[in-house]
Amino acid sequence: MAVEKEGCDFREAPASAGMLNFLFHGLHRGVMLVNLITGREKIALNNVIIIGSGCAGLTSAIYAGRANLKPLVIDGLEPGGQLALTTMVENFPGFPDGILGPELIENMRKQAQRFGAEFKSGAITDVDLSKRPFKITAGNETYETLSLIIASGATARLIGLESERKLIGYGVSTCATCDGYFFRNKDIAVVGGGDSAMEEANFLSRFANKVYLVHRRSEFRASKIMVDRARANEKIQFVTPVVVEDIRDVSKGGVEKMILRNTQTKAVSELPVEGVFVAIGHEPNTKVFRGKLDMDENGYLLTHHGSQTKVPGVFAAGDVQDHHYRQAVTAAGSGCMAAIDAEKFLEAHPGL
């Protein structure tokens, strides 16, 4: 029976291919029309979203991809993490001759893509973990997910000099454990006055000829035992109270000296060094999670039973929850843990 233009009854229409096609496209146009009127588009639901694309995030992506979870990775504030700013990495297993940090990150990214991981650029501006599915906002984009892995890392605090930024990886470093070996028998400086600075100065004295500990005050935030240990080290010389005015020489692509200004006398001096280690702390990239997840006093996410946070289905990996080790290999290991935890969570909650 033909369908009349007015008062048609679809129950009487034959189930022909043409009619099914008509119904499908009609409904499709209807959805499009509603979207145009309301300004809303349907948001795809993800099994797992990974925030961050450093070692932890990319390892999570590899494992989640191999579990057929089709992970979505949002690059975050620092695409590639700290390794993207590093030159040679010699302590990551499997590379006897070392590997460049950006190359290692690119290899891990390709490996994740091979197993089905999708990547989106952007920094996270808001999250809603109060109901399911979780909503993640990055600028104008909103994503929904059944589980979430936070691997947004921690950003090393820097002095704030333009020359410092340009010489990162070329004589300026924020990781003594990573780069100390490259400064064998050289004169170097550590900038900072806390326990981390004292610890790094002592560690670097194993390799360097001389370590200058540069601090803006004559007093230190570090514990007395750490200060005493550094003072007892004949290779460490304290340079206080001074601030770093400049690090040279950018034009030569390496560190040759520091320009210092005494905070009391205002006198300017030069300190010849071939390396500068900035040890004034790290800032975990957790601002959008404040009040939503448990953190310690410094803003690092608290986890339990592996990578679990206080919200079921939300996991944390890498430096965002580790202020002690901060190594590429430990970040990769915790990324693996988070992906496995997310997989087990989704298996245990199939009705989400």
Ranges of each domain in the chain: 45-156+282-348, 162-278
Q: Report how far residue 32's alpha carbon sits from residue 41's, in angstroms, rounded to the nearest whole number.
A: 8
Place of tokens 């500990």: 213
Mean pLDDT, the chain, rounded, equals 88
Q: Which helix (H) or strand (E) holds 62?
A: helix 55-66
Of 178, 246, 336, 341, which residue is the catalytic one? 178
User: What CATH number has the domain spanning 45-156+282-348?
Assistant: 3.50.50.60
Q: Confidence class of residue 215 from pLDDT cuts 50, 70 and 90? A: very high
Nearest CA to 212 among 223, 197, 222, 229?
197
352 contact partners, CB below 8 Å, separation of at least 6:
132, 133, 146, 313, 346
Distances 249 to 9, 179, 254, 267 between C-alpha atoms, Å: 82, 19, 6, 21
Q: pLDDT, tens digit, for every residue of 63-105?
A: 999 999 999 999 987 888 888 877 788 889 999 999 988 999 9
Of 9, 75, 97, 179, which residue is the catalytic one? 179
Of 55, 75, 175, 319, which residue is the catalytic one? 175
Active site residue 336: no
Q: Answer yes or no: is pLDDT of 170 > 90.
A: yes
Active site residue 179: yes
Q: How many CB atoms lie within 10 A of CB 237?
A: 16
Active site residue 178: yes
Q: pLDDT, tens digit, for every residue of 232-276?
A: 999 999 999 999 999 999 999 999 999 999 999 999 999 999 999
Q: What is the pLDDT of residue 94?
A: 95
For the 162-278 domain, the top CATH level (class) is alpha beta
142 forms bridges with which residues in the sheet? Answer: 137
Q: How many CB atoms lie within 10 A of CB 303?
A: 24
pTM: 0.74
Average pLDDT over residues 304-331: 95
% of the chain at pLDDT higher than 90: 76
Task: Please provide residue 87's backbone torsions phi and psi, each rounded to the nearest 5 degrees.
Answer: -85, -100
**Alpha helix stretches (DSSP H) within 143-279:** 162-166, 176-179, 195-204, 224-231
Nearest CA to 260 among 212, 203, 210, 205?
212
162-278 has the same fold as 45-156+282-348 = yes
Average pLDDT over residues 182-191: 97
